[in-house]
Amino acid sequence: MRLPLTLALLPFSVQAINIISSNDDGWAEINIRQLYDSLTAAGHSVVISAPAENESGTGSNDGTPSVLTSPCEFNSCPTGSPAYGQNSTEPRFNYVNSYPVTAIKYGINTLASTFFDASTPDLAVAGPNVGSNLGLGVFFSGTVGAATYAANTAGIPAIAFSGATGSQTAWDVSSVPVYSTVYAELARKVTDQLIAAGTPYLPENVWLNVNFGKVSDSSCATADDFTFVLSRIHAAVPLITAEDVETCGSTRLPTETKVVGSDGCFASVSVGMAGDKLDADATVQGVVLEKLADLLTCL
């Protein structure tokens, strides 16, 4: 399949869907709030269900939520707050005092029926994570853990978003960092393109690992500066790893590490199997390639 050399415009109108949102950086971190704003502005119905505190590096751990013995991150809730809670003025912002998997599970099993017109979300998104989740890092990422739980256990198509630039930042910072706005817009582009391609949004038990390159005030400073490249999560082993989907004149996709580390403004899109967090085969990659073709370029 020949890919377009420029980023195609998304359809003017994309069907609004129900989206559950989580992360591992915490419910009050600015990236998840910026993504909420971007997806909501696009017409989607979004509910955040994320950890009360930074739970980075907790992978697919799951545990029983407990009463808080210290304040939520950035003092977003006081000591002694219940194990589950919500923002007093925006009930769609919810925390769970436990791991990312536990938080998104609560969102799917409990919050969805409260806020959505259906009992199950149409799509799960995680992130944008503060820092990249590349290669072997996917096994340890709580953001990835939340996304793969949704796809593997709950049967909901899922995307994990991560950005190379940034640091833990409160939702109420006086000036929103450029990277946070850019990553939210890029995540919305991928989400809307996937939705526009129609249901099923992804094959069964499949998740996307999307990593955005670095952003600064002078370089890669807008979402339009970025191009997306289909990639693989893990490096292929010569003579052992099966061929990838054929695209850009090759049957071997670049690793997401190579894409994000290349000169320019690139974002990698890898197709993974949620059960083991390994790369999907060429057939499944081909389904995603077809769905996202208008968004993808060659490296």
Q: pLDDT tens-digit profile of 286-297?
A: 999 999 999 999
pLDDT of residue 258: 98
Mean pLDDT over 226-247 rounds to: 98
Count of Cβ atoms closer than 10 Å to residue 174 Cβ: 5
CA distance 268 to 79: 40
- At residue 2, does pLDDT exceed 50? no
Per residue in 268-288, pLDDT (tens digit) is 999 999 999 999 999 999 999
Residue 199 structure tokens? 């249901």
Q: How far is CA 46 from CA 18, 116, 158, 206, in A?
A: 6, 9, 14, 21
Taking domain 18-297, whether its CATH number is 3.40.1210.10 is answered by yes
When pLDDT is cut at 50, 70 and 90, the band that residue 60 belongs to is very high
> In this structure, what DSSP letter does residue 250 have?
B
DSSP state of 147: H
Please compute the mean of the pLDDT values over residues 133-152 and round it to a whole number.
Answer: 98
What is the rounded average pLDDT for all residues in the chain? 95
Given a cut of 50, is residue 12 above it in pLDDT? Answer: no
pLDDT of 118 strictly over 90:
no
Domain ranges of the chain: 18-297
